[in-house]
Amino acid sequence: MSGAAPVAVLCGGVGAARFLRGLLDAIEPEAAGSVCAIVNVADDLVLHGLHISPDLDTVVYTLADRIDPGRGWGLADESWQAMTMLETLGGETWFRLGDRDLGTHLHRTQRLSQGAPLSEATAEIAAALGLTLQVLPASDDRIRTMITTIDGELLSFQEYFVGRQHAVETEAIAFDGAASAAPAPGVLDALAEAATIVIAPSNPIVSIGPLLAVPGVREALEAGRDRCVAVSPLVGGAALKGPAERLMREQGHEANAVGVARLYAPLASALVIDHADAADAGRIAALGVEPVVTDTIMGDPERARALALTTLDACP
Amino acid sequence: MSGAAPVAVLCGGVGAARFLRGLLDAIEPEAAGSVCAIVNVADDLVLHGLHISPDLDTVVYTLADRIDPGRGWGLADESWQAMTMLETLGGETWFRLGDRDLGTHLHRTQRLSQGAPLSEATAEIAAALGLTLQVLPASDDRIRTMITTIDGELLSFQEYFVGRQHAVETEAIAFDGAASAAPAPGVLDALAEAATIVIAPSNPIVSIGPLLAVPGVREALEAGRDRCVAVSPLVGGAALKGPAERLMREQGHEANAVGVARLYAPLASALVIDHADAADAGRIAALGVEPVVTDTIMGDPERARALALTTLDACP
């Protein structure tokens, strides 16, 4: 553990992973151990008997420089022989699992079946891939985002996100299991001890939402509000990827940086927003949240690094 | 269903698969539907959360011309990316699972998790790979061969067979779950209706043994003894592959064709043995079992076909 100021980052998948990549690039390599990523697990699923943790894997693969840059998920240099065989057999192939990626799911599932909590399996996987930051699942307990569509259909998150390509209108969103879940070991300590807490540019509803639904996490953020800065995932009222804008709107929030600020106002004292949303700065400030205007589109590692530096500087 | 005389074959893995290949080559293609393979499932294991059925897969892959001819197990043209990743992560890699092969285990596990019995999942896999014979697991219930070594260690079959390369001395062999297992749907009917029942050249102790331990199977064979012929898996007192000879001896049986004949005498009226064991014919006949001497080494498809024809002719 270095003596660097500890940073805790609340994370979903792709956006958070890119932000963390920038953060690790922005600090000394030996300071990586002072960074703790607290990652959403409500997108997890059990498919074909395997425990799959998409957000944890996206974070770990990205930071280990193993992510497939084109797809933004899964491993680089991937092959798809298992899926091809599954297709031959008429099996379920809507959720694509690459051959290398399967190795991760096999290992995680085996460790869980041996009684290891998800946090332990995750730490092992992160360490085996050479990571020195701490990667924590929000909880070792089962939490599942369940989406009720306006047609009354109940979908798991991945059925909604991958199966339906998030092209259906949502009525209600619930985080099954969250109310009785405990934060994974280390989560509350990381939030209490962090010099800076960052809410990564992830989907406020279905990535950060389930984190806040774990008893103790919201309270820890409220207590740490002065040390907490959020990064808006919306740019010009649109999500760069995924259904953040649509879900914000459908769930009754203003689908722009102001809506994000309103959601996070009890938790964060500053919100990093894009130049495209500079006109919203006044309304955000009126909510008691300090707007920080910068370039939030992490188009390349240097811009991700700059965003991380600006974010760390947002909390005095 | 053709009008061909029905044949039921009790099967382990490699030897049985090659015999079945020969049998299917020996009959009209449209008669394949009258062949029923009843396959050992006591070698099955759950690893990494996946339900793996080695004998069922060996039979199905062989008959679908998908088996890897070099290894004798798993699929041809296999890749090993998942195992490589599992190694990177420090996971369990003693039981090798190829990428394509994983597709089968994913599908089977998913179907079982959806409530399908193993027999249904097996039938689907066999049909998807173009097979028209009936492939039945001995039981849809959980049966596990458990081996106690002379050192008192308790091993699952695959720990013994793959993990230890069957190089440890066995004390006791039990088929956990067999006593309360039911034959899979179709098993007893196939045995009752078969014009010929064949006990394939499989390990009498750990391949055929668990089949006979399923309540009703031994009784069905005893009732069908006149229609039943066994093929000795031992040639000149040695197994062509695997620990058959060693296990016969360790479990108190004569480790040659006579020992096989003694085990099967209540169940089979004839035993096909190799020319190398012709000298044992008299002792076999003395047990009330008709010895049929031929070439039992299935070195190529033509010899497997000839063995199948000889075997079918053994029961008048």
For residue B255, the SS3 value is: coil
Beta-carbon separation of B91 and A100 below 8 A: no
Mutation for testing the B interface, residue in A85, A112, A124 having most B CBs under 10 Å: A85
Q: What is the pLDDT of residue A72?
A: 84
Band (B239; pLDDT cuts 50, 70, 90): confident
pLDDT at B2 over 50: no
3-state SS assignment for residue A68: coil
Interface of B with A in 28-57 (CB under 8 A): 46-51
**B13-57 pLDDT per residue, tens:** 999 999 999 999 999 989 999 999 999 999 999 999 999 999 999
CA distance B163 to B102: 19
Taking CA–CA distances from A51, the nearest residue in chain B reads B49
Instruction: Band the pLDDT of A88: cuts 50, 70, 90.
Output: very high
- Which residues fall within 8 angstroms of residue B224, CB to CB, at 6 or more apart? B191, B192, B194, B197
Percent of chain A scored above 90 by pLDDT?
A: 93
Question: What string of DSSP letters covers B150-211?
Answer: TT--EEEHHIIIIISTT-S-EEEEEEETGGG--BPTTHHHHHHH-SEEEE-SS-IIIIIHHH
pLDDT tens string A168-208: 999 999 999 999 999 999 999 999 999 999 999 999 999 99
**Per-residue confidence (pLDDT) for residue B238, from 0 to 100:** 83
Confidence (pTM): 0.94
Structure tokens at A260: 């994000």
pLDDT in tens, A39-71: 999 999 999 999 999 999 999 999 999 999 888
B190 contacts: CB under 8 Å, gap ≥ 6: B6, B8, B36, B38, B134, B136
User: Cβ contact (<8 Å) for B75 and A88?
Assistant: no
A6 three-class SS:
coil
Closest Cα in chain B to A106:
B48
pLDDT at B127: 98
What is the structure's pLDDT at B316? 62
- Across residues A149-175, what is the average pLDDT? 94
Among the residue ranges A60-74, A135-149, B176-190, B214-228, the one predicted with the least confidence is A60-74
Distance (Å) from the C-alpha of residue A258 to the closest C-alpha of chain B? Answer: 43
Q: How confident is the model at residue A1 (pLDDT cuts 50, 70, 90)?
A: very low
With b for 16 or more beta-carbon neighbours within 10 A and e for fewer, the A242-276 pattern comes to bbbbbbbbbbebbbbbbbbbbbbbebbbbbbbbeb
Q: Quick check: A292 pLDDT over 50?
A: yes
Nearest-CA distance A294 → chain B (Å): 38
Mean pLDDT of chain B: 96
Confidence of residue A316 (pLDDT cuts 50, 70, 90): low
Q: What is the pLDDT of residue A237?
A: 81
Give the CA radius of gyration of chain A.
Answer: 19
Which chain A residue lies closest to B128 (C-alpha atoms)? Answer: A89
Both tokens of residue A246? 């649509």
Whole-number average pLDDT of chain A: 95
Left, alpha or beta for A65 (phi > 0: left; psi -120 to 50: alpha)? Answer: left
**Nearest-angstrom CA–CA distance, B28 and B4:** 9
pLDDT higher than 80, residue A3: no
A44: closest CA of chain B, how far (Å)? 15
CA pair distance A150, A157, nearest whole angstrom? 15
How far is the alpha carbon of B78 from chain A, nearest alpha carbon, in Å? Answer: 8
The residues, ordered by sequence, that sit 6+ positions from A299 with a Cβ below 8 Å of its Cβ are none
Residue B206 has pLDDT above 90, yes or no: yes
Contact A49 B129 (CB under 8 A): no
Say which DSSP state A295 is in. -
| Contact flag A48-B91 (C-beta cutoff 8 Å) | no
Query: Rounded CA gap, A150 and A251, in Å?
Result: 12
Give the per-residue pLDDT at B27: 94
Residue B240: which pLDDT band, with cuts at 50, 70 and 90? confident
Who among A47, A87, A103 is closest to B89 (CB)?
A103
What does the pLDDT look like over B70-113, one tens digit per residue? 888 999 999 999 999 999 999 999 999 999 999 999 999 999 99
